[in-house]
Amino acid sequence: MPKWLCLQKILHVRLTTCLSITLCLVAINQFFASYGYYNYRHLDQESLRHYLYTKRNPNLTTKSKSECRYNDILQSSKFIYNTKIPRKYDDFVPNGIINGSYSPQDCIPLFSVAILVTYRNRQSQLDIFIPYIHNFLRKQNIHYKIYIIEQQDEKQWNKGLLYNIGAKQAILDKFPCLILHDIDLLPLDDSNLYACLNQPRHMSASIDKFRFVLIYKTLVGGVLAITSDQYKELNGFSNKFQGWGGEDDDFAGRISNHNLEILRFPPHMSRYTMLQHKQEHKNKDRHRIMEENKHNSQNDGLNSVRYEMINIKNHRLFTLIGVRL
Ligand code: BGC
C-alpha cells in the first residue's frame, strides 16, 4: 500500500474517533444540563430572616428571658459530608428530649415546629433518622416535636392521608408550623433552619441522589415546611393517592390554586442525603387522579380523612401515631 494511502487511513480513523468522542461528551453534557436545575430560583441568604414565620406554640412554657438568635445559624457554612453520617448510634445522648420534643433552655425560641414523618416497615432508616435529626435540630434553637405516623395495615400505602392524620394531631397540639419529612432524607447544612416561612417552603431542593439539582420546579416532595393555617386553607393532602407518588404533585397544585408561592433557600443551604432503599412501585394512575382532582380540593383532604386510630404512644424520642386505613 502506498504511504500516502496508509496515512490517509490513519487520519480517517483518528478523525472519526475524535468526532465520536466529542459527540458523546456533548450528549452527556446536554443530559446533565437539561435534567434539572442547578441554580433554581431561591431567596437570598441575606434576606431570609424577613420571610421567617415566627410563632410559638402557646403551650410552651419558657424560663429564660431573652429570645433565641438565628443569624449565626442562617449564616453557618458547616456542611456534614454524607460519608460522615453514622449508621449506628451507640453513644446517642437524648439530653433534653421528652416525648419526641425539645426546646432550648437558655433562650426563648421563636419557632415551634411539628416534624411529621410517615412510616411503614423502614426500621433501619428510623434507627438512623431519629438520632441524626435530634442531633441536628438541637443545635437550631427551635422548639420542635417529632411525630411518626405509622400505617399499621397491609393496604396500599397512602402518604397523603397519613400526613393529614399527623397534621390533625399537631394542630390539636397547637403547633403553628408543620414540616412534612421523608424518613430517608437527612439535612447536610447547619444553615438549613427548620422553620416555616410566610409561604410554603420546599426544603429539600438539593438531594445527592438527584446530583444536587432540583429535578422540576414544582417539586414539593421530600421535605416541605408549611404553616398550620396554610395547611388547613389547602384542606391538606388529597386522600386518593395510593401506592407511591403523585400526592405531592397534587399538593403543589393546591398551593398554586390558592395563590401561594413555593419558596426555597439557596442550594448550598438545602442539601440532603438520601438513605438507600429500593424504589417503590410507582402508582401508574397518579397522573389520571391528579387530572380528575384538579379544582376539587374542598371535598377531598383534611376534612374527609377516614381511618382507625390504633394508638398514640409517647416514646422518649418521638410520638408514635399508629393507624389502620
Ligand atoms: C412523583 C412524585 C415524586 C417525584 C420525585 C414524581 O414522578 O409523582 O411523587 O416526589 O417523582 O421522585
pLDDT tens-digit series, residues 219-236: 999 999 999 999 999 999
- Note down the domain range covering 14: 1-34
CB of 182 closer than 6 A to ligand 1? Answer: no
DSSP 166-224: HHHHHHHTT-SEEEEE-TTEEE-BTT-----BSS-EE---EEGGGTTSBS-TT---SEE
* Ligand 1: nearest atom to the Cα of 247: 9
- Where are any strands of DSSP class E within the chain? 101-102, 112-119, 143-151, 177-181, 185-187, 201-202, 206-207, 223-227, 271-274, 308-314, 319-324
- The count of structural domains within the chain is 2
Q: Ligand 1 atom 9: the closest Cα is on which residue? A: 245
On whether both 70 and 19 belong to a single domain, the answer is no
Q: Is the CB of 236 under 6 A from ligand 1?
A: no
Are 238 and 307 in the same domain? Answer: yes
Q: How far is the CA of 15 from the centre of ligand 1 (A)?
A: 43
Locate the DSSP E strands across 87-142: 101-102, 112-119
Residues 142 and 220 in one domain: yes
- The CATH number linked to 125 is 3.90.550.10
Residues 235, 154, single domain; the answer is yes
Residue range 246-304, pLDDT digits in tens: 999 999 999 999 999 999 999 999 999 999 877 778 899 999 999 988 878 889 999 99
Residue 200 CB–ligand 1 contact under 6 Å = no
Same structural domain, 12 and 122: no
> 176 C-alpha to center of ligand 1: Å?
27
Q: Are residues 277 and 166 part of one domain?
A: yes
pTM of the model: 0.89
Q: Are residues 45 and 17 in the same domain?
A: no
pLDDT along the chain (325 residues), means of 10: 70 79 75 72 96 97 90 93 78 93 96 98 95 96 98 96 98 98 97 98 96 95 98 97 95 96 97 88 90 86 96 97 97
- Ligand 1 midpoint to CA 221 (Å): 7
9 and 156 within one domain:
no
Best of 157, 180, 207, 248 to mutate for ligand 1, by most ligand atoms within 8 A of CB? 248
The residues with which 214 forms a beta bridge, in sequence order, are 37
C-alpha cell at 154: 397491609
Grid look-up 397491609 returns 154
My answer on whether 121 and 236 are in the same domain is yes
One domain for residues 21 and 166: no
